[in-house]
Amino acid sequence: MRLQVRQQATTADSRPRLCTESGATPWHPPSPSNPARPGPMRGSAASPSPQRPSATTGSSTSGTPPGRRTAGSCPASAPSTAVRSPARRAWTGPPPTGPCAPPSTSTAPGGTSPCRSAGARVAATLDALAEHRRLLALLLVWEIGKPWRLAQADVDRAIDGVRWYVDGIEPMLADRAPLDGPVSNIASWNYPMSVLVHAMLVQALAGNAVIAKTPTDGGVACLTLASALAAREGIPVTLLSGSGGELSQALVRAPEIGCVSFVGGRDTGAAVATAVADLGKRHVLEQEGLNTWGIWNYSDWDALTAVIPKLFDYGKQRCTAYPRFVVQRQLFDAFLAAYLPAVRTLRVGHPLAVQQQDDSYPELDFGPVINAAKAKELQDQVAEAIERGAVPLHRGSPSDARFLPGQDTSAYVQPVTLLNPPRSSPLHHAEPFGPVDTIVLVDTEAELLAAMNASNGALVASLSTDDLATYERLAPQIRSFKVGNGRPRSRGDRDELFGGLGASWRGAFVGGELLVRAVTRGPAGERLPGNFPEYQLLP
């Protein structure tokens, strides 16, 4: 079977024309005829690897899409001759013009009144995002390797989630006011729309100006388009690109910043937590944890088999993935009989590879991991764990994957399952952020709880047991914000709350009304639900 990249049909009239800088080429959506593409396209036979823009300047180099723009360029922000001041929600220098300009004193782009409420502006932005839904999803496939099904879901969750806030924002803002400075967002690359854009629009809906840093590893094109659409409706949003080390002084420590919202790893999160604690700054810091699934006195194996493939969505590159199973030893044979057939059904490959041009995009569980360096890190960790005593139970074969002829597959990792990783291995105590499962066997309830709490706090966990009383007794002892009863838990949408326990979370909890409270000022002396150095308050 010879595969090819499905051509994305576009015409000159159908291409979005958001902004053209002086002397710059208008940006068009990627197509297979354009070899300048990162993500899953890197290194394919027909697509040489593009060079990434400089982290300090964001300037485009050979093979880099014109859509990769710097903080001072349109459409993500104003032209370099004008600077938006988020704290003042105003512009300094000559006012920008064109379709990316903010509302003037008379009318905003599209002829709308500059006095529109924040709700009207956000609602108009959601309509624009919905109009460009397909392009936004394709950019996620192109940039960060999301399968088509999951890329569409990422866009839809952002739009639907923010619409829920637009419909119900008034009572949430009763007796509350925007923060004194903008909200600064530093987020991971894996969910640009449903996490980062969702948060940005709710922050703006609450009356704040918003700053966001583009993730270093991917998502800049999708975020640029989404931010341009928001800016066109008058949303006070500024998008920046650059290294975290260079920008942290401004995005975290600057006194003008009203709140820091961070999604990422524990090492970087610890540095941010120290900075905001020293400054007494409002913060929401979502950090990783080892999310675990416990099996104790359980027999509904068909239900477990059904859920295993879904747990591998996007190659477990998400903060609510379950990379660890803690299994009662006497049930291990039954567990394997349920687990192994399911993991052998996983579909891996190039997210855009089709046999015929009119074929639908392939139905995959995951494509590449974020880059070849991450793939090598995972492969090295697996090899080291086996060398130190872990037992390989399953290793997927590249021959079963869906690749283009001659494609560079250095960023792909086939699913792996290991039994009893050694305590010296990072796979024992940390989230791998890739398609690597580990299994630990236990004999007592005390061992079960100790193994499920190996990372000093997590975002989600699950416990499968036939006895409801056992679940109700053990679940409160699992250090996770959410604990599922025989089913996976996730970040959630709309009114579902989200946070973490232990080292997996610092600052205010979010979700539902709590997200609005986290980015607004309430009564003097208010104690927000969250995990703070001085206190922990659960909702």
Tens place of pLDDT for every residue, the chain, 539 residues? 667 777 665 443 444 433 323 333 333 334 333 333 444 443 333 333 333 333 333 333 333 333 333 333 333 333 332 333 333 333 333 333 333 344 433 344 444 444 579 999 999 999 999 999 999 999 999 999 999 999 999 999 999 999 999 999 999 999 999 999 999 999 999 999 999 999 999 999 999 999 999 999 999 999 999 999 999 999 999 999 988 778 888 999 999 999 999 998 888 888 888 888 777 889 999 998 999 999 999 999 999 999 999 999 999 999 999 999 999 999 999 999 999 999 999 999 999 999 999 999 999 999 999 999 999 999 999 999 999 999 999 999 999 999 999 999 999 999 999 999 999 999 999 999 999 999 999 999 999 999 999 999 999 999 999 999 999 999 999 999 999 999 999 988 889 999 999 999 999 999 999 999 999 999 999 999 999 988 999 99
Tokens of 417: 């399952």
Residues of the chain with CATH 3.40.309.10: 292-454
Strand order across the 292-295 sheet = 391-395, 416-419, 436-442, 324-328, 292-295, 458-464, 480-485
The pLDDT value recorded for residue 118 is 93
Residue pair 31/8 in contact (Cβ under 8 Å)? The answer is: yes
* CA atoms of 42 and 372, how far apart (whole Å): 10
C-alpha 31/C-alpha 37 separation (Å) is 9
User: Could you tell me which of 167, 160, 166 has the C-alpha nearest to residue 204?
Assistant: 166
Fold of 119-289+493-539: Aldehyde Dehydrogenase; Chain A, domain 1 (3.40.605)
Residue showing tokens 């619409």: 163
- Cα distance between residue 284 and residue 200, in whole Å: 13
Structure tokens at 54: 């400089």
| The two structure tokens encoding residue 472 | 């109700």
Q: Extract long-range pairs of 244-252: CB within 8 Å, 24+ residues apart.
A: 244/186, 244/213, 244/216, 244/268, 246/55, 246/56, 247/213, 248/272, 248/275, 251/184, 251/186, 251/211, 251/213, 252/184, 252/186, 252/276
Q: Helix or strand or coil: residue 207?
A: coil
| Closest residue by Cα to residue 314 from 348, 288, 289 | 348
CATH 3.40.605.10 boundaries in the chain: 119-289+493-539
Q: Does 292-454 carry CATH code 2.40.160.10?
A: no
User: Could you tell me the CA-to-CA distances from 50 to 32, 45, 393 in Å, in that order?
Assistant: 14, 13, 37
Of 338, 329, 282, the closest CA to residue 309 belongs to 338
Distance CA 404, CA 358 (A): 17
| Buried b / exposed e along 27-38 (16+ C-beta atoms within 10 A) | bbbbebeeebbb
Q: What secondary structure, in 3-state letters, does 55-121 show? A: CCCCCCCCCCCCCCCCCCCCCCCCCCCCEEECCCCEEECCCCCCCCCCCCCCCECCCECCCCCHHHH
442 bridge partner residues: 328
Helix residue spans in 286-409 (DSSP H) = 301-311, 332-343, 372-387
Q: What pLDDT was estimated at residue 269?
A: 80
User: How much is the pLDDT for 243?
Assistant: 84
Supply the pLDDT for residue 25: 34
